[in-house]
Amino acid sequence: MESMWHYENFEPTGSAIGWRVTRKLDEVQTPFQKIEIFETTDWGNLMLIDGAVMLTTRDNFLYHEMMSHPALFTHADPKRVVIIGGGDCGTLREVLKHPGVEKAVQCDIDEQVTRMAEKWFPELCDSNGDPRAELLFDDGVAYMANCEPGSVDVVIVDSTDPVGPAEGLFNKAFYESCFLALKDDGVLVQQSESPLALLELIRSMRTEMGKAGFTTFKTLPFPQPCYPTGWWSCTLARKGGGFDFREQAAREAALDTKYYSGDVHRGALATPPFVQQALNAS
Amino acid sequence: MESMWHYENFEPTGSAIGWRVTRKLDEVQTPFQKIEIFETTDWGNLMLIDGAVMLTTRDNFLYHEMMSHPALFTHADPKRVVIIGGGDCGTLREVLKHPGVEKAVQCDIDEQVTRMAEKWFPELCDSNGDPRAELLFDDGVAYMANCEPGSVDVVIVDSTDPVGPAEGLFNKAFYESCFLALKDDGVLVQQSESPLALLELIRSMRTEMGKAGFTTFKTLPFPQPCYPTGWWSCTLARKGGGFDFREQAAREAALDTKYYSGDVHRGALATPPFVQQALNAS
């Protein structure tokens, strides 16, 4: 079969990534964005939203595991979890691997992301029928604003970049809603882009989270080949308390994960010196 | 100034990376390979060898620090270090940050790599005048074969990919030379490509090292945006003994590093489950 190279240029980082693709499998223009699916030679299927790569079959486990397990093992006993964005359902699947979770709400603005995931990444949707899962297709900003105060243990913001539909998920107003919705020992975690190329964005996110009332922050780096620079991060925030985690529980849980483990979690807490310096934080 | 995108396609991984470049600064065809230098908009200068990116000004610290400090802090008291390849001198500079090192030999087959580094990456050559440094331009395979047995504490193989001039640095014969040259508590470390996309190569390297007599191995992953998939690794091998390291010393040394720290080293020892499984090793 013929193959060709598909490149994605990242203007803010001056870098690009690409894949060898064989054909376009699907495409839909939704009221919010354009979703495209390609078949690749080595990475399985590839989803683009407005031209930006969201995930591949082969490497999405890195992101989904690191967006969920560190936050859930940081919280002492997470029962109620809200995922804002996350329409591909990969984060939801990871969250539901925790038997203690009683309810996981996924609120993505665009139902078509989930429909495309069901079709082209069915393994990520394995747990969509779990009775603990609730899939909403609605505005995440409004959902968090209307959440019952003090009702949520963990909020996971699994969104696209801070432009377009996700822009409202990176400011003080949204973080205030999260702060209110969380219980006192609640954990907020958000994807926070490249720790090498986009440190300024991470700093700005932490500042906005701080204005909303969060007092402690931790940025965990992890590899993610399909995102700019191949190095990505999530940032955790708490109303109070630190980022020690249930390390023993993480080891004993023996969740079915490919990247995450208690040791990997501990390792991700080691903030490299240049990141410490840029964020003025350990 | 006009800018354009320069892409590098990696056939074995089916992925590509690229940079926004403004102009070509230099080019030389040596008896061994073609070296090109580009200026980028965001990554400083970029060196290509036979079209493959070797380093950028901005992100080479990740690779150079991880190719040197973990091995040197694993050895109890490294005094004599040999670097095979490493012509850009960035690894040499890191090695010489260790005050206990008495002698560091860098043996790269191509003098022009060092000349180009002096010109376009002068900061990497800061320590070339150190009286402990010896720069040789010779065949690394022959250098190791002729090394006095039991004379070296740490061998660092800082080479290009296992094709072209570096092909001879990835097989049993070369590793046997390293094994002989090392003292009994010696450490071998070699760049070992992408832990996600090229696990088969890592497995093969460890097998060849084993055939040469090495008994224990550890593959440490680290981020490296300018290499395929943005995720890279080095593999350590020992005649005997494990990979516990002088953690307290690493913390107290307070080397001038941007990525490496005792905590980051500890973190890199956490092998992700899927790598453990593929390598049948912890």
Q: Which ipTM was obtained for this model?
A: 0.95
Which residues in chain B have Cβ-Cβ distances shorter than 8 Å to A225?
15, 196-197, 229-231
Tokens representing B151 are 């004379």
User: E strand or H helix at B274, and its extent?
Assistant: helix B273-279
A77 with A89: CB under 8 angstroms?
no
Assign residue B48 the CATH number of its domain.
2.30.140.10
Q: Chain A partners of B42 at a C-beta cutoff of 8 Å?
A: 13-15, 197
Show which of A23, A41, A56 is a domain's final residue: A56
Task: Say whether A158 is catalytic.
Answer: yes
pLDDT of residue A220: 98
Please judge whether A272 and B266 are an interchain contact, meaning their C-beta atoms are less than 8 angstroms apart: no
Minimal CA separation from B31 to chain A, in Å: 31
- The domain that holds B204 is classified in CATH as 3.40.50.150
Query: What are the pLDDT digits (tens) for B227-266?
Result: 999 999 999 999 988 999 999 999 999 899 999 999 999 9
Residue B1 has pLDDT above 70, yes or no: no
Determine the residue among A17, A60, A222, A256 to mutate to test chain B binding: the one whose Cβ has the most chain B Cβ atoms within 10 Å. A17
Nearest CA in chain A to B271: A264
Inter-chain residue contact A196 with B59, CB threshold 8 Å: yes
> Do A191 and A250 reside in the same domain of the chain?
yes
Nearest chain B residue to A267 by CA distance is: B267
Range of the domain at A229: 60-279
Cα-Cα-Cα-Cα dihedral of A136, A139, A143, A146, to 10°? -140
Distances (CA, A) of A279 to A14, A175, A275: 22, 19, 6
CA distances from A236 to A64, A68, A156 (A): 15, 11, 9
- Say yes or no: A50 and A142 in one domain: no
- Mutation target among B8, B15, B279 for the A interface, most CBs of A within 10 A: B15
As a whole number, mean pLDDT of residues B85-91 equals 98
pLDDT at site A254: 87
Of B14, B261, B269, the CB nearest to A42: B14
Same-domain pairing of A23 and A69: no
Please report which helix (H) or strand (E) contains residue A238, including its range. strand A231-238
- Both A254 and A194 in one domain: the answer is yes
Closest residue in B to A264 (Cα) is B270
Backbone angles phi, psi at B253, to 5 degrees: -60, -30
Q: Are residues A36 and A149 in the same domain?
A: no
- Which 3 state secondary structure label does DSSP give B25? strand
In this structure, the answer to whether residues B139 and B164 fall within a common structural domain is: yes
The pLDDT of residue A261:
97
| Residue of B14, B230, B268 with shortest CB distance to A231 | B230
B238 and B269 belong to one structural domain: yes
A90 lies in the same domain as A146: yes
Own/partner long-range contacts of B275-282 (Cβ < 8 Å, ≥24 apart): B275/B195, B275/B199, B275/B219, B275/B221, B278/B199, B278/B203, B279/B199, B279/B202, B279/B203, B279/B206, B279/B219, B281/B206, B281/B217, B281/B219
Say yes or no: A66 and A43 in one domain. Answer: no
Instruction: Calculate the CA dihedral of residues A259, A262, A266, A269 and round it to 10 degrees.
Output: 60
Please count the structural domains in chain B: 2
Q: Is the pLDDT of residue B282 over 80?
A: no
pLDDT digits (tens, 9 = 90+) for B112-157: 999 999 999 999 999 999 999 999 999 999 999 999 999 999 999 9
Nearest to A45 by CA among A56, A61, A60: A56
Question: What whole-number distance in Å separates Cα of residue A189 and Cα of residue A140?
Answer: 15
Closest C-alpha among B124, B126, B86 to residue B105: B86
Domain boundary among B21, B38, B55: B55
Question: Residue B242's beta-bridge partner residues?
Answer: none
Which residue in A72, A123, A129 sits closest to A101, CA to CA?
Answer: A72
- State how far residue B274 is from chain A, nearest Cα, in angstroms: 5
Residues B259, A274: C-beta atoms closer than 8 Å? yes
Residue-by-residue pLDDT tens, chain A, 282 positions? 678 999 999 999 999 999 999 999 999 999 999 999 999 999 999 999 999 999 999 999 999 999 999 999 999 999 999 999 999 999 999 999 999 999 999 999 999 999 999 999 999 999 999 999 999 999 999 999 999 999 999 999 999 888 777 888 989 999 999 999 999 999 999 999 999 988 999 999 999 999 999 999 999 999 999 999 999 999 999 998 899 999 999 999 989 999 999 999 999 999 999 999 999 887
Please tell me which residue in A158, A184, A256, A263 is annotated as part of the active site. Answer: A158
Contact by Cβ (8 Å): B216, B242: yes
Query: pLDDT at position B146, please?
Result: 98
Residue B11, pLDDT score: 92
Output the CA angle A2-A112-A33, nearest 5 degrees.
80
Cross-chain CB nearest to A273 (options B14, B259, B272): B259
Same domain, A33 and A67: no
Q: What is the pLDDT of residue B74?
A: 98
| Strand pairing category for B103-108 and B80-85 | parallel
Kind plus residue range of the DSSP H or E element containing A70: helix A60-74
DSSP at A269: T
User: A203 and A179: one domain?
Assistant: yes
Q: Considering only CB atoms, which residues of chain A are within 8 Å of chain B?
A: 5, 7, 9, 13-20, 40-43, 58-59, 61, 196-197, 221, 223-225, 229-231, 257-261, 263-264, 266-274
Structure confidence at residue A1 (pLDDT): 61
Residue A15 has what pLDDT? Answer: 96
Please give the single-letter amino acid code of residue A118: E
Looking from the CA of B96 toward its CB, the CA atoms found within 13 Å total: 21
Interchain CB distance below 8 Å, B231 and A229: no
The answer to whether the Cβ–Cβ distance between A7 and B16 falls below 8 Å is yes
Answer yes or no: do A51 and A170 share one domain: no
